[in-house]
Amino acid sequence: MDLSEQRYLSRCGKSYQLPNMTGGVAILPVSGGADSSYLAILLHQLFPAVDFRMVFTDTGTPDNPVEDPGVYETLDKLEEFLGKKVERLIPEKGLFEIIDQFGGYLPDSRSRYCTRILKKVPFEKWLQQFAGLQKYMFVGIRSDESGRVAFSLDEVETVMPFVDMGLTREDIFAGLQRTIGVPRMYEGRTRSGCTVCPFQRRAEHVYLLQRKPIEFLKGERYEKLSDNDLARWEEAIPLWKDTGSSANWLTLPKPEEGEIEGKRASRAPDLFGARIYVGAEFFMDGFPGMGEFCWHQRVVSVAPTLHHLKDQLDDRYQHLLSTSEVYQMSPDDVRRNARFAIYVIELPSAVFDPEGPKDQAFTWTQGWAYKQLRHIVSWVTRALHAEGERQSANRKVRSELSVLAEWRDNSAETLRQAKEELGAVVNSQWYRANENEREMTEEEELSYLPCPMCSL
């Protein structure tokens, strides 16, 4: 433990004292996420003589896992760092089996039966071993989470050390960086939990589709949609597969300068019948005398309105700042090298329909379907890759014998070989994301607020 860590613990120890737990039991639910993991580390460091009982309540089974793989990686790291086991409660039937029992009816904000059956009931059953004893449950609610609430159980006193210490999200992630590291799942997720959790943001669903398509398809199969809606959302063929070129994920176009006007990507009056706003991220870097280069880029999210897309990019930027370690960057690296782009993509209505379900539907997120999102992301990615190839094909080169000339010609050939629609980038701009956390609307808070029991 270095000197800075010792000083940090000394400050925390002076500002926080445990309740009098004589004759009681100290319980530490851990979810494999950032808050509960760092709370376990901090309390064990501050109070090594206390026998904290760590417990994790799984929502999947070994044969059919549901939690993000990063959850289990973090639990393993936590056990190794503390030299102590986390008690893992494994259900006989996981989330998807429970959904089958409910006739395929998906959980949502009005019916969180998944939490009750897979989290609350097993946890209460585990607590029965301490019947008659006062129980002190330590939960990782931070001081900057005004909208998040804890839960109450009989004979259980809920304790929130982060609130008492005044620790925020920034403090928790800094603490993880000093100890077991920020969980890898925070590349694209804002919290731990099921891969198909209905309380994820749209950008998180896009990340799931890009990085873990099998898990995305598991969720998609459980949605109930009409044949009419399903027929509207055919997936686009990737440009590399359509043209026989090599798969290249570094061909998103660099935006043009200028503002994107209008509040809604409304239908165009010509044969291009559908438009949508798309946000992308670029990580840049460079060496002295060699110029700047891009080492990471991807589509982050999509939205029918510019305002909502900007909100999503602001959220993404703030998340990157607090989890920069997962990309081997510092917050200052993110401020210096992360860039965001906004595009208006236009595609023929014969192949592209970004609107949500028109008939009665049961989906993970109200108004959005997994197949709809897969349809949108596939087509806008294809359109953006095509525009990137157009930029490359129009590149001015100094010598026809240079590698740049070869790349230019390959891009032109790729466009000639395309058999399906390519669409168009109607407008584009660089976007300077806001570092200050915004206030969510009441609708957003209801959509994204996780159940307190999901911290178990």
Q: Tokens standing for 27?
A: 């319980």
- Residues above pLDDT 70, as percent of the chain: 86
Q: Domain spans of the chain?
A: 3-187, 203-447
Q: Which residues pair with 26 in a beta bridge?
A: 136
Whether the Cβ atoms of residue 390 and residue 407 lie closer than 8 Å to each other: no
Q: How many helices (H) and strands (E) does the chain have?
A: 17, 9
Check residue 238 and give its pLDDT. Answer: 92
* Percent share of the chain, pLDDT over 90: 53
- pLDDT given for residue 269 in this prediction: 43
Predicted confidence (pLDDT) per residue in 88-138, tens digit: 999 999 999 999 998 888 887 677 888 889 998 999 999 999 998 999 999
User: Band of the pLDDT at 7, cuts 50, 70, 90?
Assistant: low
Q: pLDDT digit string (tens) for 17-64?
A: 899 999 899 999 999 999 999 999 999 999 999 999 999 999 999 988
DSSP string covering 112-170 = -HHHIIIIIHHHHHHHGGGTTS-EEEE----TT-TT------TTEEEE-HHHHHT--HH
Cite the DSSP H helix spans in 299-369.
Answer: 306-322, 331-337
Q: Among 82-91, 161-170, 369-378, where is mean pLDDT lowest?
A: 161-170
**Nearest 5°: phi and psi at 403?**
-65, -30
What's the CATH number of domain 3-187, 3.40.50.620, 3.40.50.1980, 3.90.870.10, 3.40.50.800?
3.40.50.620
